[in-house]
């Protein structure tokens, strides 16, 4: 089926609609910073029934890729989590409406996700909503064209369905969307199942990102085999990253068969431990959206429909790990960041308590600047623990820093007391590394949580001082 679909899309791209020349921009990892290239996949294993593509349609004046499309050959179960910023962007309002309508009608409608970068379509009033609708209509027309020329399409309606397209926008806030350029770009875009097409889509998501963020994975839902699914995810973000939500944009596609209620539960669980567990600068975007779309293409008569089932627990946990890995790429690309810092808080009475303490540490500018300066300032960390807002036994708190290379950690505080004199030489060795784990033991219970953050450097100020220019 997939090879036939690929031929269909090649024919559609080259002849039917006079495609944008997407080969005009390179997907070679060497074009991105050398230190980031190890995070860029050279190959991938992608979910059945999904197609991807990226292009330049004219939103960005510099000619860089600015349009991405993901399309399923059949309706999907879709779920999403959005920014809680009250000035949420038009695409957020539109997508909420689409998903709420699908739930009310108890039907699967979403077929495509259309993403533009370079303009956020945020704080744009009524016109912004109209532009989001126009953008979605272009996606719906693309779905209709796909179904018309593909003999293997599994859509039952065979045409444009109300609410079959989600839209996402990222970029400068307060500017009108050049929606005519986007609509033409969607109409002309070339889609494919190949890794290179997924990479083009990932590159087209980028704004201040320094590398594209794409992951794919194969998951076995049962111990004895027979229920193999695939996941693929694209995210973008480098600044304005802080819960809740904290991704800027992200879409995860899977060929698992799962009910709406189970997908909603799995996403809620996973996002609390991934995209809502990262912070770069403490600013919450107007556009933050993370969506999961599941088309069921891998299923042979089975569906995940009970949270008590082994398949659900495995799916939920694998989705969580997958999303945490995606989210960590956002932190690794934090604007001006030189370090990837994991804050782990253990021994809490509840997950929410552990996460609250971890978040307080992760968002402390004093802690983040200390890491940039490679200063083992344990006082700043304990200060953040102390004002996190949960009851503590300060005489039971331990603090340890762990280097990313797996060598011996350094205990800074035990039972609330600093281990003086601090081995400053070892501390400097650990903090000179790119990856550092800070572990705080509260000794109050058995729950734990992690937050992922980065340091705060001079470059962060420079990047954001010049953003609109």
What residues are labeled active site? 247
How far apart (Å, rounded) are the C-alpha atoms in residues 133 and 94? 7
CA dihedral over 92, 118, 461, 37, signed as positive or negative: positive
* Secondary structure E strands in 179-288: 213-220, 228-236, 249-254, 278-279
Distance CA(370)–CA(161), nearest Å, equals: 53
Token pair for residue 456?
A: 């705060």
Tell the residue number behind the tokens 């090879």, with chain if given.
3
Nearest Cα residue to 436 out of 312, 338, 300: 338
- Residue of 458, 293, 305 whose CA lies nearest to 373: 458
Report d(CA 50, CA 228) in Å as an integer. Answer: 16
Burial of 84 (0-12, 13-18, 19+ CB in 10 A): exposed
The residue with tokens 């939920």 is 316
- How far is residue 251's CA from residue 266's CA, in Å, rounded to a whole number? 15
Could you tell me which of 397, 389, 388, 395 has the C-alpha nearest to residue 367?
Answer: 388
Rg for the chain, CA atoms, rounded = 23
Q: Are strands 289-294 and 249-254 parallel, antiparallel or unpaired?
A: parallel
Cβ–Cβ < 8 Å for 51, 249: no
Q: Strand, helix or coil at 452?
A: strand
């Amino acid at each position: 089926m997939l090879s036939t679909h690929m031929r269909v899309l090649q024919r559609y791209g080259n002849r039917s609609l006079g495609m944008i020349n997407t080969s005009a921009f390179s997907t070679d990892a060497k074009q991105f910073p050398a230190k980031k290239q190890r995070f860029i996949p050279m190959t991938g294993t992608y979910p059945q029934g999904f197609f991807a593509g990226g292009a330049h349609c004219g939103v960005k004046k510099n000619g860089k890729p600015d349009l991405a499309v993901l399309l399923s050959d059949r309706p999907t179960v879709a779920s999403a989590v959005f920014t809680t910023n009250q000035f949420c962007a038009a695409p957020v309002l539109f997508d909420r409406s689409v998903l709420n309508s699908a739930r009310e009608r108890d039907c699967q409608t979403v077929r495509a996700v259309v993403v533009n970068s370079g303009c956020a379509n945020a704080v744009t009033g009524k016109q912004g909503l109209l532009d989001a609708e126009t953008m979605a209509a272009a996606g719906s027309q693309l779905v209709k064209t796909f179904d018309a020329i593909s003999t293997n399409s599994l859509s039952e309606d065979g045409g444009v369905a109300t609410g079959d397209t989600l839209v996402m926008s990222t970029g400068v806030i307060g500017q009108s969307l050049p929606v005519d350029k986007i609509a033409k770009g969607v109409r002309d875009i070339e889609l494919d199942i190949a890794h290179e097409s997924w990479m083009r889509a990932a590159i087209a998501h980028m704004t201040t990102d320094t590398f594209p963020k794409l992951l794919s994975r194969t998951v076995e839902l049962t111990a004895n085999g027979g229920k193999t699914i695939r996941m693929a995810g694209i995210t973008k973000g480098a600044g304005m990253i802080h819960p809740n939500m904290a991704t800027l944009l992200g879409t995860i596609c899977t060929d698992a068969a799962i009910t709406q209620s189970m997908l909603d539960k799995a996403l809620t669980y996973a996002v609390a431990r991934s995209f809502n567990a990262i912070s770069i600068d403490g600013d919450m975007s107007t556009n933050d959206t993370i969506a999961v779309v599941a088309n069921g293409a891998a299923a042979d008569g089975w569906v995940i429909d009970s949270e008590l089932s082994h398949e659900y627990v495995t799916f939920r946990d694998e989705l969580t790990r997958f999303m945490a890995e995606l989210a960590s790429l956002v932190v690794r690309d934090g604007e001006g960041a030189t370090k990837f810092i994991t804050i782990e808080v253990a021994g809490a009475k509840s997950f929410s308590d552990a996460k609250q303490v971890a978040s307080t540490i992760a968002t402390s500018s004093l802690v983040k600047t200390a890491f940039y300066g490679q200063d083992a300032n344990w006082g700043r960390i304990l200060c953040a623990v102390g004002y996190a807002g949960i009851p503590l036994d300060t005489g039971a708190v331990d603090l340890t820093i762990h280097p990313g290379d797996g060598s011996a950690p350094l205990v800074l505080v035990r039972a609330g007391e600093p281990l003086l004199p601090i081995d400053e030489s070892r501390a400097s060795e650990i903090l000179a590394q790119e990856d550092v784990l800070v572990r705080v033991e509260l000794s109050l219970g058995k729950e734990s949580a992690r937050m992922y953050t980065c340091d705060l450097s001079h470059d962060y100020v420079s990047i954001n001082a010049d953003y609109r220019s």
